Structure 1
Amino acid sequence: MKRLILVVYLLITLGCDKKYLEAKPDRNLLVPVHLEDFQAILDNTADMNNSTYLNFVGADDYLTTNSGYQSASYLMQNAYLWKADIYQNSQTGDPVGDWSSCYKQVFNANVVLDGIDKLGGTADAKLAGVKGTALFFRAMAYFNLAQLFCKAYTTQGAANDAGIPIRLTADVNPRPARGTLTDTYRQIISDLESSLVIIAGNSNFKSRPSKLAVRALLARVYLAMGNYEQALFYAEAVLAESNSLLDYNTINATLARPFPAALPNGNAEVLFYSAMPSLAFLTSQQNSIHPEIYNAYSENDLRKQVFFIDRGNGIINFKGHYTGNVLLFAGLAIDEIYLTKSECLERLGRGAEAIACLNQLLIKRMKTGTYVAQVSTGSNLQLILTERRKELLYRNLRWMDLKRLNLEEATALVLTRTVNGVSYKLVPNSGLWVLPIPDNELIAGAVEQNIR
């Protein structure tokens, strides 16, 4: 294991700084060669199960106080207020967390994929399973990058909108250009479809993806693309095999952490574990749930007790993390799949089925005997989207949802924040919805900057 840690560390270091590209490491000492080595790379949860966070910082799940803002890093402050230049000194070579962590995941996945091919590809079931896992991680990293550094996907614009640099090998020397958003999503879907064929059907560790996790991510990807037929197909495929929801009547709402630990396998709703990093601003007690959301829960809605803790002075913190600890959950879970299915059914003109699906979720969130089933009115989209927002708080999905919903006039929103008496706005489809590429990446290769 010590040898493996050295291997990965050195390879990543070589890939992160151009001045090291000419170094010639001793391959006999540094390159992982055994199946166990490759599995260990993918089992490094600190790297592979780490999600982005700037999309959460910029979204509208919460508001922070003036003191909370003042105590945050410059990066958090700038992201919170949607500043055009959020990095300030990234040209010095300091890594930008979301960009570098995702490309570290891509690099690790590519190390595994290159190595598996040398070991014989997918002829062996264990090799195939590890390869499928690597493809999943690469796809998720690219999808997370696209939510931050690309425009929302549209069928009309994707062929011309900039994507992200796609690396398909562990060789750090090529510096690929960004390509188009079509190229990016085509690669994500290709990786997931290939993974689905060979990955293990089940996993005893939620940190390892399974076929269910692959289908769940495909449902999310297609929802982000506005392809509701395909999103529905994969959502239904997940629920056909696993549709169990937690009954919140059985959850002890008085606990500081009401939900069981997701790792290794404690939360039945969790399909795949991923979490935002342990950063002070993300878990600050100065961050309060947006009052519009809090006031949307009825008194019989158990989420109002399970999700929140009132600190006084108008501050209400979120505590309902599906990680089961202080970290913010950013993985895949069954409740998201119900909501994806419901939205897709509604958008495809199957309103009664959409509401029936929504009712299956909501009855598990209300006090026993109090839930009155929703009835389809012929126009259910706003109800479904409201319930999606209430259910998926602090899951790192809101930024994705806001970007795709801003494409429609009926669901577009203007975000507002006030700090030290000064108000700030983020209007739909502004260039500020797309984060700038870190300056050091522009210096290192042929990557074009986003226009902010």
Structure 2
Amino acid sequence: MYTQKYYYILLIVFSISASSCRKYVELEPQGKIIPSTVNDYQLLLNNSGVFNLSYGSVDYPTDDIALLNDDFINSFDVRSLQIYKWADLFYQANEDDPEWNLFYKQVYNANVAIQGLPEAKSGDANLKTQLIAEAKVHRAYAYLCLVNLYAKEYHASSAATDLGVPLLTEPGYTQSLKRATVKAVYDLILSDLNAGVETLPSLSTSKTAPSKSAAYALLARTYLYMGEYQKALDNANLSLGIQSALFNLNPYVNMGAGSGYPDGFFLPTSQDNPEVIWMKASSDGGGNFPLSDELITLLGTKDLRTHFFTYYVGPDGDPIGIFNYPGTYHTYFAPFETVPGSTQIGPTVPEMMLIKAECLARTQKGQAGLTVVNELRKFRFKPAEYTSLTAANDDAALLLILQERRRELFCKGFRLFDLKRFNTDPKLAKTITHPLKTQQLTLVPGSNRYVYPIPTKVINANQEIDQNPR
């Protein structure tokens, strides 16, 4: 019989529906079928409804979003507004945190596969090994999201003592739920990803499945968040050595002429986008995010990302009827959908190029970093409107590269984590201001409110889990 203590940390429901509609529940006492064959575990790991979702709220607390319109504010759900306000708590004591639950569900199911596959019946040994590696990459992704949402950013000087998140490495119910250190969480992430690069094929037949390219990409992202710039650069290069194609936006300009819809409607899906390394869909279905004036100014009017990925609503509302809130604002328009209305926020070729460029600049190779960024920018402007970025020194080059990172990745779930890691650098740290009706809310560098509160429901059920300071 389940104890309440583990009931909430490992989710209220663990059942998984595979594409064949055969259902697996990992816990035998419920009287359901548990995975036993290699095929069973493959179906479990192929469940995109579990493994290919990611966070959906992390743009709300950033400087990319500004609620300038009262109708938009009034339409916001309570949770999103609490996150936008950097509130003490985001959820009431009886409410679930969907992001906490999602990632621990992924961890649990990955652990089921990692523990059960070695003894699984009627399956090829090589496939067993590959599926264990896939499960480890899934687990690494979930923990990378969890530790960056619910813990402080990685600092080498304090990671061994900073509280991370509960670290569960098996599906049983005897594990401690005390928060592991940030370092311990990152150590597991790196171990899991290195297992992936040793075993997985260079590319997968579907972009929903982990690959060697995806594992290298997540290693690059992880080392970037750790401030290990040479290792981040090395792994970005390894990922780009497998997959480096860029998508040219130019042929899609005016694709929607006469249809009544923006050109962004006609872009291919993530599965058909050569830039996508691993598909991850935003769990809230993408964003009708109202964009800040600062971001719109940074993007500029000639950038094709402005053309395709933002949508302007005038003072009389939206004549096409895509968005329902009158007033004047720009909103985010989800590109390259993973599922209808969702944003693709998994690793991509542009992200790897931007990591490479940033790490070059941070290792005194700023001009080489700008060369990488300029190769990306050629695909983001009409040829007649493209100009190369230039800088006088490495510091200036780094600032230009980070601006380009913001342009390319806006509303794709990166900005909050970037702001957190920039906070200790006086040249990059900033105070964020969020307008809210008559108020001007501010978030100063290093504030505890950059870190999500752990859901009250989880803490009430598991007293050994400490809450984040606010």
TM-score (norm 1): 0.90
What secondary structure is seen at the aligned counterpart in 2 of 1:164?
A: strand
Deviations 1:222-269 (A, max 9, x none): 11111101100001111222211111212245424242111xx31100
Tell me the number of residue pairs that the alignment of Structure 1 and Structure 2 aligns.
430
Between the aligned partners of 1:207 and 1:423, the Cα distance in structure 2 is 41
Q: Which residue of 1 aligns with 2:438?
A: 421
The Cα shift of 1:70 comes to 2.2
1:47 maps to which of 47, 50, 58: 50
2:29 maps to which of 24, 31, 48: 24
1:271 maps to which of 269, 273, 277: 277
Deviations 1:69-110 (A, max 9, x none): 2222221111111011221x23x3x32111011000001101
What secondary structure is seen at the aligned counterpart in 2 of 1:412?
A: coil
Q: Greater shift after overlay, 342-351 or 312-321?
A: 312-321
Q: Which residue of 2 aligns with 1:230?
A: 231
Q: Which residue of 1 aligns with 2:72?
A: 68
1:386 maps to which of 403, 418, 432: 403
Q: Which residue of 1 aligns with 2:323?
A: none
The Cα shift of 1:54 comes to 2.7
Change (3 A) 1:5 1:139: farther
The Cα shift of 1:159 comes to 1.1
Query: In the alignment, is the contact (CA less than 8 A) between 1:270 and 1:322 conserved in 2?
Result: no
Query: In the alignment, is the contact (CA less than 8 A) between 1:102 and 1:141 conserved in 2?
Result: yes
Q: Which residue of 2 aligns with 1:402?
A: 419
Query: In the alignment, is the contact (CA less than 8 A) between 2:140 and 2:189 conserved in 1?
Result: yes
Q: Which residue of 2 aligns with 1:18?
A: none
Change (3 A) 1:126 1:375: same
Between the aligned partners of 1:411 and 1:238, the Cα distance in structure 2 is 27
Query: In the alignment, is the contact (CA less than 8 A) between 1:131 and 1:199 conserved in 2?
Result: no
The Cα shift of 1:323 comes to 2.1
Matched, 1:261 2:262: no
Q: Which residue of 2 aligns with 1:448?
A: 466
1:83 maps to which of 61, 80, 87: 87
Give 2:81's aligned amino acid: Q
Give 2:416's aligned amino acid: W
Change (3 A) 1:350 1:283: closer
Q: Which residue of 1 aligns with 2:184?
A: 183
1:367 maps to which of 375, 382, 387: 382
Query: In the alignment, is the contact (CA less than 8 A) between 2:334 and 2:342 conserved in 1?
Result: no
Q: Which ranges of structure 2 fall in alignment gaps of 5 or more residues?
A: 1-16, 257-262, 316-327
What secondary structure is seen at the aligned counterpart in 1 of 2:165?
A: coil
Query: In the alignment, is the contact (CA less than 8 A) between 1:223 and 1:340 conserved in 2?
Result: yes
What secondary structure is seen at the aligned counterpart in 2 of 1:30?
A: coil
What secondary structure is seen at the aligned counterpart in 2 of 1:163?
A: strand
Q: Greater shift after overlay, 131-140 or 371-380?
A: 371-380
Give 1:72's aligned amino acid: F
What secondary structure is seen at the aligned counterpart in 2 of 1:288?
A: coil
The Cα shift of 1:434 comes to 1.0
Query: In the alignment, is the contact (CA less than 8 A) between 1:50 and 1:277 conserved in 2?
Result: yes
Change (3 A) 1:389 1:31: same
Matched, 1:164 2:165: yes
Give 1:275's aligned amino acid: A
Q: Pairwise mapping of residues 105-116 of structure 1 onto structure 2 (< 5 A)? A: 105-116=106-117
What secondary structure is seen at the aligned counterpart in 2 of 1:295?
A: helix
What secondary structure is seen at the aligned counterpart in 1 of 2:312?
A: strand
The Cα shift of 1:296 comes to 2.2
Between the aligned partners of 1:215 and 1:439, the Cα distance in structure 2 is 35
Query: In the alignment, is the contact (CA less than 8 A) between 1:154 and 1:225 conserved in 2?
Result: yes
The Cα shift of 1:220 comes to 0.6
Query: In the alignment, is the contact (CA less than 8 A) between 1:258 and 1:306 conserved in 2?
Result: no
Q: Greater shift after overlay, 331-340 or 61-70?
A: 61-70
Give 2:465's aligned amino acid: V
Between the aligned partners of 1:300 and 1:424, the Cα distance in structure 2 is 31
Between the aligned partners of 2:36 and 2:72, the Cα distance in structure 1 is 48
Between the aligned partners of 2:45 and 2:250, the Cα distance in structure 1 is 36
- Percent same amino acid among aligned pairs? 28
Query: In the alignment, is the contact (CA less than 8 A) between 2:63 and 2:434 conserved in 1?
Result: no
2:353 maps to which of 333, 338, 341: 338
What secondary structure is seen at the aligned counterpart in 2 of 1:416?
A: strand
The Cα shift of 1:3 comes to 11
Q: Which ranges of structure 1 fall in alignment gaps of 5 or more residues?
A: 15-22
Between the aligned partners of 2:370 and 2:227, the Cα distance in structure 1 is 20
Query: In the alignment, is the contact (CA less than 8 A) between 2:311 and 2:330 conserved in 1?
Result: yes
Change (3 A) 1:391 1:2: closer
Change (3 A) 1:122 1:220: farther
The Cα shift of 1:133 comes to 0.9
Between the aligned partners of 2:229 and 2:154, the Cα distance in structure 1 is 13
TM-score (norm 2): 0.86
How well do the aligned residues superpose, as a CA RMSD in angstroms?
2.2
Q: Which residue of 2 aligns with 1:329?
A: 344
Query: In the alignment, is the contact (CA less than 8 A) between 2:118 and 2:128 conserved in 1?
Result: no
Matched, 1:351 2:366: yes
Give 2:381's aligned amino acid: M
Between the aligned partners of 1:104 and 1:243, the Cα distance in structure 2 is 32
What secondary structure is seen at the aligned counterpart in 2 of 1:289?
A: coil
Give 2:114's aligned amino acid: L
Q: Which residue of 1 aligns with 2:12?
A: none
Between the aligned partners of 2:176 and 2:71, the Cα distance in structure 1 is 42
